[in-house]
Amino acid sequence: MTTKVSKIELNGPSGCSLPPTHRASFSIGNEAAARRVVDVLTEVFFEGDAAVAAFERPDGQWDVTLHFAEAPDQALLHELVANSAGNEIATTLVFDTIEAKDWVKASLEDLVPVPAGRFVVHGSHDRDRVAPNKLAIEIEAALAFGTGHHGTTRGCLLLLDHVLKSSRPRSVLDLGTGTGVLAIAAAKALHRRVLASDIDPPSVRVAAENATLNDVGDYVRVIRATGFAAPDFARAGPFDLVLANILANPLRQLAGPMARHLAPGAHVILSGLLTHQAPAVIAAYRARGLVPLRHLRIEGWSSLLLRKLS
């Protein structure tokens, strides 16, 4: 079984029943295809819309299911599945409404703490399973996208752990912070201030809440910003370390602005790109004076470590 879950809030107020749950489901032929389409759906719906899960059947087929708090855009789902799995699979999509349930919690029941070097990302139900010599990062189940179960988040954490073995960056930026996992990890390891940004207002709120939950609320400052447009970046920089787990196209577009906000010798950790997209991203940053040092490949996703030469 594999489970990928994006942010969704289905819990009603205390004492109130949950609303009906909307469901979309289809089957696909093998694990690789299931992982590919689930990764695409998780990336699209991470802003608070769906819980996505994939389960292997005894016959080797995989059932992919999405649960929504609100009725989904059926045409959009058809298009997403067609683009990632083919038209034949998209035509098998079935939409229905089922009994209310906390599908995020149900989908995460089989997820275990994820180790990444010195870091371990876990849910509240696994708080007691983290070894005392690890830096624990707790993310609530209802905010599961970016918990570390996604290959891009784990890749970034592994590269961060590698960088921190030989350096202690003074100024750190987590660009496109999402749930705040990377900012929290850097703050816990360094005990220094970290600037985190996101274009999505709910993500700004969630990241700040998660920083407080993880006892680094005084270190992590979260702002809403697009790219490097906000004056906060100039005030906080130049940065010795930037973490950016977003997508390939934005990463390429941000190469120039990011380079201008880096200190000489700065490290940059990039992810959110499929493995075949990595060469184009590397080329964009190499043209701005950054050289690649490491390339991790996890579950079809690439995570890159680069360094600015001067």
To the question of pTM greater than 0.85 for the whole model, the response is no
Tell me phi and psi for residue 19, to 5 degrees: -75, 165
The most confident of the ranges 8-17, 121-130, 165-174 is 165-174
**Whether 266 contacts 299, CB under 8 Å:** no
Alpha helices in 124-239 (DSSP H): 151-164, 181-190, 201-213, 231-236
pLDDT digits (tens, 9 = 90+) for 133-158: 899 998 864 433 444 556 788 899 99
Q: Residue 168 pLDDT more than 90?
A: yes
pLDDT over 60 at 190, yes or no: yes
149: CB partners within 8 A, 6+ apart: 3, 4, 5, 111, 114, 121
Domains of the chain: 2-107 (3.30.70), 143-308 (3.40.50.150)
Q: Is the pLDDT of residue 4 over 70?
A: no
Q: What is the pLDDT of residues 226-283, one digit of tens each?
A: 999 899 999 999 999 999 998 888 999 999 999 999 999 999 999 988 888 999 999 9
Q: What is the pLDDT of residue 146?
A: 44
